[in-house]
Amino acid sequence: MSMDVAIDVHGLTKSFDGKRVVNNLTLQVSRGEIFGFLGPNGSGKTTSIRMLCGLLIPDAGSGRCLDYDVIRETAQIKREIGYMTQRFSLYEDLSVRENLDFVARIYGVPNRAKVVAAALERLGLAHRRDQLAGTLSGGWKQRLALAATTLHNPKLLLLDEPTAGVDPKARRDFWLAIHQLAAEGITVLVSTHYMDEAERCHRLAYLSYGQILTQGTPSEVAAGSGLATWIVTGTALMQLAETLQGLPGVAQVVPFGGALHVSGSDTAQLDAALEPFQSRSDLSWTRAEPSLEDVFIQLVSAAGERAA
């Protein structure tokens, strides 16, 4: 395993009660990279993360995480990662500082008081140090959880939908902190289903039904989708959407604010289907690059059809 690679796994597979939750996961993540794990609920993101950090042993496959074997050296992996779960898992009846001090004790962090004070400052928590964790808003709980996750200077952060249920300002602040950590050389693997967050990742993979459907940089994923997309604005757009749905070459029609995104994988067929509508004076049509959301809607629809 190269020193420049933090995660290198091949064919990881996991089943529960006869149902395959993760199927043949193959993934490489470079050190200092922010890698996004995207997919709908139940797609296998959390199970994949738990196999990478040693909490679950795969049924098949092999690989290394931080140069440790994901099957035989799970104890070593756990010592060098920070894992932030979907649900807030610190003690709500302890203060912010007490929670961090407790976590620092568990990890045996030297100069504990100094490290905790530095974490409070770095995450903007110093003025809330004596506030009970249970009284924090979702955004502040998220900051506290990230502070606790990074106290022991992990080399890899595994963040499982860390911004679910928090406001846009808190999400933006959280992602700024993630990029600062990556700039310091920490590798970050983060699962999310927010498309704006996907675009903040260096690279990403999209999972559905336990399989990776595509991976690469956001621009590579969009360019490799094969989708052609038109954006249409004008009047009576919902009636237009109903008319366009199901036409030959039209794979999806999705409202985006005051516009529709109309996409298909066969450019010629899509253009032919839309041509009769493009002469209408009440509509304005613009060719556009497919958004990540366009791509992922198409991917999950195709995956669902194959699964069915």
Q: Is the pLDDT at 96 greater than 90, yes or no?
A: yes
State the pLDDT at residue 257: 85
- In this structure, are 117 and 25 located in the same domain? yes
Could you tell me if residue 29 is inside a domain?
yes
* Domain end position, chosen among 216, 251, 272: 216
Tell whether 132 and 258 lie within a shared domain. no
Let me know whether 153 and 271 are in one domain.
no
Q: Which residue has the higher pLDDT, 28 or 39?
A: 28
Residue 296 domain-assigned?
no
When comparing pLDDT for 300 and 121, which is higher?
A: 121
The structural domain count of the chain equals: 2
Give residue 166's pLDDT: 77
Closest CA to 62 of 2, 12, 3, 7: 12
Asked if residue 193 and residue 242 are part of one domain, the reply reads: no
Note the pLDDT of residue 33. Answer: 95
Q: Is the pLDDT of residue 237 over 80?
A: yes
Q: State pTM to two decimals.
A: 0.86
Q: Would you say residue 119 lies in a domain?
A: yes
Confirm if 195 and 258 have CB atoms less than 8 A apart. no
The arithmetic mean of pLDDT across residues 1-17, rounded, is 88
Q: Are residues 125 and 200 in the same domain?
A: yes
Looking at the fold, whether 115 and 237 belong to one and the same domain comes out as no
Length of the chain: 308
Listed residues 161, 196, 216: the one ending a domain: 216
Query: Where in the sequence is the domain holding 259, given as residue range(s)?
Result: 228-289
Statement to judge: residues 268 and 186 lie in one domain: no
pLDDT at 230 over 70: yes
Query: Over pLDDT 90: what percentage of the chain?
Result: 64
CATH, residue 256: 3.30.70.330
Last residue in a domain, options 216, 248, 264:
216
- 158 lies in the same domain as 257: no
The answer, yes or no, to whether residue 308 has pLDDT greater than 70, is no
Q: Are residues 205 and 88 in the same domain?
A: yes
300 located within any domain? no
Enter the tokens of residue 176.
């700024």
100 and 248 part of one domain: no
- Among the listed ranges 39-43, 126-130, 179-183, which one has the minimum average pLDDT value? 39-43
302: in domain: no
| Residues 181, 64 within the same domain | yes
Averaged pLDDT for residues 121-137: 93
297 falls within a domain: no
| Residue 305 clears pLDDT 80, i.e. is over it | no
Residue 224 has pLDDT above 90, yes or no: no
Q: What is the CATH number of the domain that holds 77?
A: 3.40.50.300
CB 13 within 8 A of CB 24: yes
Write down the pLDDT at residue 156.
95
* pLDDT exceeds 70 at position 92: yes
Task: Tell me whether residue 305 is in a domain.
Answer: no
| Structure confidence at residue 260 (pLDDT) | 93
User: Which pLDDT band holds residue 194 (cuts at 50, 70, 90)?
Assistant: confident
d(CA 99, CA 104): 9
The reply to whether 299 falls in a domain is no
Report the mean per-residue pLDDT for the chain.
90
| pLDDT confidence tier of residue 67, bands split at 50, 70 and 90 | very high
Q: What is the DSSP track for the chain? A: --TTEEEEEEEEEEEETTEEEEEEEEEEEETT-EEEEE--TTSSHHHHHHHHTTSS--SEEEEEETTEETTT-HHHHHHTEEEE-SS--S-TTSBHHHHHHHHHHHHT-SSHHHHHHHHHHHTT-GGGTTSBGGGS-HHHHHHHHHHHHTTT--SEEEEESTTTT--HHHHHHHHHHHHHHHHTT-EEEEEE--HHHHTTSSEEEEEETTEEEEEE-HHHHHHTT--EEEEEEESSHHHHHHHHTTSTT--EEEEETTEEEEEES-HHHHHHHHGGGTT-TTEEEEEEPPPHHHHHHHHHHHHHHHH-
| 131 and 247 within one domain | no
Give tens-digit pLDDT for 140-192.
998 999 999 999 999 999 998 888 777 888 888 889 989 999 999 999 999 98
Instruction: Flag the least confident range among 86-90, 95-99, 213-217, 279-283.
Output: 86-90
